[in-house]
Every structure is written in C-alpha cells, then in structure tokens.
Chain A
Amino acid sequence: AQTVTQSQPEMSVQEAETVTLSCTYDTSESDYYLFWYKQPPSRQMILVIRQEAYKQQNATENRFSVNFQKAAKSFSLKISDSQLGDAAMYFCAYRPGANSKLTFGKGITLSVRP
C-alpha cells in the first residue's frame, strides 16, 4: 500500500524568509503524481504544485518549488519569500497513474511570523 509521511507537525518561518517542508512516500508504482496542497483556515483545499514522477525536472510555481528525489522517494516543498498569507496547513499527496484516489500525509501547520 502507498503511504505518505510528513514527519514535522509544525513549522514556523519569518516573513520574507525561505522554508522547506518535507515529505516522503512509499510506492511500487512507476507512474504517479505527487502534490502539495494548502489548506487555510477556511478549509478550502488549494493545489500549490504538482510533479509527474516521469519528469526529472523539479516543478516550480512562482515562489513555490519542489525537490523531487525519485530514488529516495522524497518530495519536499520550498517556499521562498514567505508571506503572511502562506500560513496554513500543507499536505503532501500521492496519486497513482490515472487513478483518482489521493493518499495524503498527516499535514504540517506552517506559521509565518511578521
């Protein structure tokens, strides 16, 4: 069975600084997607960034980038120039192939200090 592990329950970052959120996963599949979702206090789940397993290049979306290490089954999220609006829960998620089932990690609560 696929598992997603986020070992840090909480992190804090100073506004304008950079923070990295860690995630590891376990799978025997060769084709899969990895995602980072943001869930602010409103509880609306928002997709931050996604990575296709077959792509070696790390995905980037503005201030958000990932470090995808396929052999190590590691998928960390880097947030640059942190903003107050980045404060939220962040979930790492895995999805095999065309399947719709997302397997989520436990999440990490990120706080941003002004």
Chain B
Amino acid sequence: KAGVTQTPRYLIKTRGQQVTLSCSPISGHRSVSWYQQTPGQGLQFLFEYFSETQRNKGNFPGRFSGRQFSNSRSEMNVSTLELGDSALYLCASKPGQGFYNEQFFGPGTRLTVL
C-alpha cells in the first residue's frame, strides 16, 4: 500500500496570503489528523477529520480550517498568513476511530511565510 502523501512538499508564501495543503491518506483509512511542527512550540494537534466530519480540534485560531472529501483526502487551509505560521505541517491517517488504530504520518509540507 502506498503511504500517506502530502502536497506540496515545500511552499513559500507572503504575509496576508492564504494557503491550502493537501493530504491523501493510506487507502482504506478514513481518519486524517493534522499537526503543526515548529522549533518553538513543537508538535501541536490542529484537527482530525473522520468520514468528512471534524471530530477533534486543537487550540488554533479560526484562520486554520480543514475539510475532508468523500474519498478521505483532506485539505487544510490557512488564511491571512502570519510569519508565525511558518512550520512543517504533518498529516497522519488511520483506519478508523478504534482504540487500537495506529496513525501513519506523511512526509509533511514545509511552509515558509515571508
């Protein structure tokens, strides 16, 4: 099976712009979670989608949003970019919401905001 894929791998934007990142989960996986990784704050949970519904949300401002499509692919959007949004954005997928489900991570999208 192919692993979790994220596109694009690298992105450069300027302050005030918006950006959309994409995540394709492992085939058959219905849950997709997003994380932000920065040197200062470490790895922080953004949100989780399961069957096109947001199930969990971390402590991020409303500028961060996401969605999931019927094929389980997920996108996250950041509007009005700030310098502090520069980070590695990781997505992770798992089959469902069972206790035993393991999450598999993608390679990440490196976002740089200038």
Contacts and interface: CB of A to CB of B under 8 A. Distances in A.
A50 B102 contact: yes
> Looking at chain A's contact residues, is the secondary structure mostly helix, strand, loop, or mixed?
loop
Interface in A66-114: 91, 97-107
Contacts, number: 57
Contact of B56 (A43, A44, A45, A101): A101
A106 B101 CA distance: 24
Contacts of B104: 47
Given A99-B56, A101-B33, A43 B98 contact: no
Interface string A13-34: 0000000000000000001010
Given A44-B105, A106-B42, A100 B55 contact: yes
A21 to B, nearest CB: 16
Contact of B107 (A42, A50, A97): A42
Given A45-B105, A91-B43, A107-B42, A100 B56 contact: yes
A100 B33 contact: yes
A104 B99 contact: no
> Looking at chain B's contact residues, is the secondary structure mostly helix, strand, loop, or mixed?
strand
A100 B31 contact: yes
Chain A contact residues (Cβ within 8 angstroms of B): what range? 20 to 34
Interface of A: 31, 33, 37, 42-47, 50, 91, 97-107
Interface of B: 31, 33, 35, 42-45, 48, 50, 55-56, 58, 88, 90, 92, 94, 97-99, 101-108, 110
